[in-house]
């Protein structure tokens, strides 16, 4: 009998982001970032994340920066800044081939537009990458993961301002130059489509009158497309071995019924999601843009040469997060219950179970999406986020029996294998929040994804000490056997 396994060289690992993991928001010369103004959501409001997408005003930002009462958990994260040696050693123990992290832009350029980079910030990431190298772990680095320097919001209004392209390119060139021989895999913008949900989280957009137009959001994302292409160009010039990817929050959707009107609705929903990868992978705005922009009164200014830049410097691979699927229905009044999701609310699918936070669990949807994306783009794919946010229980002896997490991951890994068998080229898999970290949407600590537990609560109380959950030992075996323990049960 042949043993089923993942392809040789498959990049198993885990994923994090500076704003949710590092902490030390005002240490080492780091400037404040947009993530530092995020207030913790109370457990009773978990499913209501309207605030997350509300337009951000200057007053709200200034209030948060001066507030002495509110809880801003992303400022302390999980204290990776001081514990990176121990964290990376734990990843090595699990056998990680890769570790996804982001660079906090405001650690390098504290105000976003400083003349010179902050050497202490640069040195910190040198130390992190050296620690990875010690164990043969390949870093996978996101340049921008919801953590734009606050100066870019306050002094430029965010990414709707074209000047921000130059500021980002300067930052990207600085870190690419510094780490060109230490980091092979780069992602430009985390979940670039988040812009359509929160202009502030995705693009540091500041609203003068409390409103946010779609034109501003798409203008901002156009600037990010250009900035991403210019960073890709530079990366290839400085080291042709570097691979740059785009990153999409993938929302696989299904027609609610076989009614052709629902099928067409699903195509439209898919276009809204795939617009971003269509531009970044294919290097051009897709044909459906014209109608979409017209019907939604979206006006975007293109400068001469923009389309050439997009065409000349597309990404090398596509990465994405996958947590759930959604439903498309032409007439929402005929629909059923709604469900929560990462930043999106949708109609709930009666065939699927949901997590404690109401995110519907759909492993087969991952195979569907891998097939769809590979059929569409034929570039290597990388799953850089997937996982289960859950409440963990620490037993008296300190153990944590997170079988629900193991079941979730196992089911998704099985479907990844099927997709590879279908012919999909999949580079790797980095499970989200490999060490517990602060949630992006609700800023809670109690929503845990990790293999490694962090002793901290929602208010930031605790020792922040690390411990191994049952999933830690299970994932170690997954990597050791290259998936064989899951696939040959």
Residue 342: CB minimum distance to ligand BG6, A: 4
Active site amino acids: 191, 385
Q: In this structure, are residues 190 and 146 in contact, taking their beta carbons and an 8 Å threshold?
A: yes
Sorted by sequence, the CB contacts under 8 Å of residue 294 that are 6+ apart come out as: none
Between the alpha carbon of residue 41 and those of residues 47, 49, 58, the distances in Å are 10, 8, 21
**67-90 b/e with 16+ CB inside 10 Å = b?**
eeeebbbbbbbbbbbebbeebbeb
Sorted by sequence, the CB contacts under 8 Å of residue 410 that are 6+ apart come out as: 486
Residue 427: CB minimum distance to ligand BG6, A: 18
**Minimum CB distance to ligand BG6 smaller for 18 or for 183:** 18
Collapsing DSSP to helix, strand or coil, 289 comes out as helix
Which DSSP string do the residues of 355-405 spell out, in sequence order?
-TT-BEE-HHHHHHHHHHHHHHH-S-EEEEE----B-----TTS----HHH
**Minimum CB distance to ligand BG6 smaller for 11 or for 440:** 440
Residue 476: CB minimum distance to ligand BG6, A: 23
Give the range of 5-13, 407-415, 440-448, 480-488 binding ligand BG6 by CB under 6 A: 440-448
**Tokens 């390098």 belong to residue:** 108
Give the Cα separation of 54 and 69 in Å (integer).
Answer: 21
Give the Cα separation of 88 and 80 in Å (integer).
Answer: 10
Give the Cα separation of 298 and 243 in Å (integer).
Answer: 33
Among 34, 78, 277, 321, binds ligand BG6 (CB under 6 A): 321
Give the range of 55-63, 173-181, 441-449, 457-465 binding ligand BG6 by CB under 6 A: 441-449
**Minimum CB distance to ligand BG6 smaller for 55 or for 389:** 389
**Minimum CB distance to ligand BG6 smaller for 128 or for 249:** 249
Q: In this structure, are residues 378 and 277 in contact, taking their beta carbons and an 8 Å threshold?
A: no
Among 219, 224, 273, 342, binds ligand BG6 (CB under 6 A): 342
Site string for ligand BG6, 119-158 (x = CB under 6 A): ----------------------------------------
Among 441, 456, 474, 486, binds ligand BG6 (CB under 6 A): 441
248 near ligand BG6, rule: CB under 6 A: no
Size, binding site for ligand BG6 by CB under 6 A: 15
Give the range of 83-91, 327-335, 372-380, 435-443 binding ligand BG6 by CB under 6 A: 435-443
**Minimum CB distance to ligand BG6 smaller for 117 or for 450:** 450
**Minimum CB distance to ligand BG6 smaller for 273 or for 441:** 441
Among 6, 11, 14, 17, binds ligand BG6 (CB under 6 A): 17
β-bridge mates for residue 382, sequence order: 319, 428
Among 171, 254, 432, 464, binds ligand BG6 (CB under 6 A): 432
Give the Cα separation of 228 and 237 in Å (integer).
Answer: 14
Other Cβ atoms less than 10 A from the Cβ of 306: the count is 17
385 near ligand BG6, rule: CB under 6 A: yes
Residue 346: CB minimum distance to ligand BG6, A: 15
**Minimum CB distance to ligand BG6 smaller for 386 or for 482:** 386
Helices 119-134 and 80-94, axial angle in degrees (round to 10): 20
Ranges within 444-473 binding ligand BG6 (CB under 6 A)? 447
Sorted by sequence, the CB contacts under 8 Å of residue 216 that are 6+ apart come out as: 160, 199, 205
Residue 258: CB minimum distance to ligand BG6, A: 31
Give the range of 3-11, 127-135, 405-413, 434-442 binding ligand BG6 by CB under 6 A: 434-442
249 near ligand BG6, rule: CB under 6 A: yes
Give the interface with ligand BG6 as residue ranges (CB under 6 A): 17, 20, 190-191, 249, 321, 342, 385, 389, 432, 439-442, 447
């Amino acid at each position: 009998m042949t043993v089923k396994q993942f392809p040789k060289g498959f990049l198993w690992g885990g994923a994090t982001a500076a704003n949710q993991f590092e902490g030390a928001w005002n240490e080492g010369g780091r400037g404040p970032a947009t993530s530092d103004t995020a207030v913790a959501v109370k457990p009773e409001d978990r499913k209501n994340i309207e605030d997350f997408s509300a337009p951000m005003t200057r007053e709200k930002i200034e209030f948060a920066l001066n507030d002495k009462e509110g809880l801003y958990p992303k400022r302390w994260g999980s204290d990776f800044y001081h514990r990176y040696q121990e964290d990376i050693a734990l990843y090595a123990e699990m056998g990680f081939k890769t570790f996804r992290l982001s660079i906090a832009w405001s650690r390098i350029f504290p105000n976003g537009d400083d003349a010179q980079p902050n050497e202490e910030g640069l040195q910190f990431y040198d130390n992190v990458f050296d620690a990875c190298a010690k164990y043969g772990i390949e870093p996978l680095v996101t340049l921008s993961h919801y953590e734009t320097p606050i100066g870019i919001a306050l002094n430029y209004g965010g990414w709707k301002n074209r000047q921000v392209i130059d500021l980002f390119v300067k930052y990207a060139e600085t870190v690419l130059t510094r780490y060109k021989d230490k980091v092979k895999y780069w992602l430009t913008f985390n979940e670039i489509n988040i812009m359509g949900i929160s202009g502030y989280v995705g693009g540091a957009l500041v609203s003068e009158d409390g409103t946010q137009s779609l034109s501003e959001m798409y203008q901002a994302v156009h600037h990010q497309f250009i900035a991403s292409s210019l960073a890709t160009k530079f990366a290839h010039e400085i080291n042709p071995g570097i691979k740059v990817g785009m990153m999409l929050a993938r929302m696989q959707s299904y027609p609610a019924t076989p009614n052709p009107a629902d099928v067409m609705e699903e195509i439209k929903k898919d276009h809204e999601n795939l617009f971003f990868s269509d531009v970044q992978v294919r290097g051009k705005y897709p044909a459906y843009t014209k109608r979409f922009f017209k019907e939604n009164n979206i006006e975007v200014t293109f400068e001469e040469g923009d389309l050439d830049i997009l065409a000349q410097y597309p990404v090398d691979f596509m990465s994405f997060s996958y947590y759930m699927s959604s439903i498309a229905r032409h007439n929402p009044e005929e629909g059923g219950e709604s469900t929560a999701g990462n930043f999106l609310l949708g109609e709930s699918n009666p065939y699927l179970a949901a997590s404690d936070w109401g995110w519907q669990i759909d492993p087969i949807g991952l195979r569907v999406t891998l097939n769809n994306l590979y059929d569409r783009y034929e570039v290597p794919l990388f799953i850089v986020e997937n996982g289960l946010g859950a409440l963990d229980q620490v037993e008296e002896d300190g153990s944590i029996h997170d079988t629900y997490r193991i079941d979730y991951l196992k089911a998704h890994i099985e479907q990844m294998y099927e997709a590879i068998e279908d012919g999909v080229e999949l580079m790797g898999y980095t499970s989200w929040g490999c060490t517990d970290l602060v949630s992006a949407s609700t800023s809670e600590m109690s929503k845990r994804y990790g293999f490694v537990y962090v002793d901290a609560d929602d208010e930031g109380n605790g020792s922040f000490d690390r411990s191994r959950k049952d999933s830690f030992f299970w994932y170690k075996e997954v990597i050791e056997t290259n998936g064989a323990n899951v696939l040959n049960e």
